[in-house]
């Protein structure tokens, strides 16, 4: 797949591993250097340290609460395929000079 370099940190060496993610969601939306396999899985060649970091991220994701509490701003954005409510500060940081459209209760 890659030219013997970790696609995350750029480290080179013979101990690269391929992370394979099978997902029916279009992962290209993330802007990561995935290679798309024939079976619709996504591939990344990474070093052992970056693979360990990826595994830890999956563990954190699995163990954190999946419930979200309403913020009350009425400002919703689309992130990774779902609508999430963000604060006014997040909106201003991500959309300088633009006014949000708010969902009324």
As a whole number, the mean pLDDT across the chain is 88
State which residues form the domain around 84.
66-95
* 3 within a domain of the structure (yes/no): no
Strand-pair partners of 12: 5
Closest CA to 19 of 31, 35, 40, 39: 35
Provide the pLDDT for residue 2.
47
Q: Do 32 and 57 belong together in one domain? A: yes
Q: Note whether residue 1 is domain-resident.
A: no
pTM above 0.75, yes or no: no
Summarised one tens digit per residue, pLDDT across range 87-105 is 999 999 999 999 999 988 6
Residue 81 has pLDDT above 90, yes or no: no
- Whether 45 shows a pLDDT value over 90: the answer reads yes
- Kind of pairing between the strands at 75-79 and 82-86: antiparallel
Residue 51 maps to a domain: yes
Sheet hosting strand 17-22, strand order edge to edge? 17-22, 41-46, 35-36
Tell me the H-state helices in 1-105.
48-63, 88-94
Is 70 found in the same domain as 40? no
Confidence band for 40, pLDDT divided at 50, 70 and 90: confident
């Amino acid at each position: 797949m890659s030219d013997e370099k970790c696609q995350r940190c750029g480290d080179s060496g013979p101990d690269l591993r391929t992370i394979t993610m099978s997902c029916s969601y279009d992962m290209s939306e993330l802007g990561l250097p995935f290679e798309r396999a024939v079976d619709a899985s996504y591939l990344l060649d990474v070093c052992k340290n970056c693979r360990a970091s990826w595994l830890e991220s999956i563990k954190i994701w699995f163990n954190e609460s999946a419930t979200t509490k309403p913020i009350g701003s009425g400002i919703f954005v689309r992130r990774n395929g779902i609508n999430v409510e963000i604060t006014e500060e997040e909106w201003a940081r991500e959309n300088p000079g633009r006014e949000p459209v708010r969902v009324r209760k």
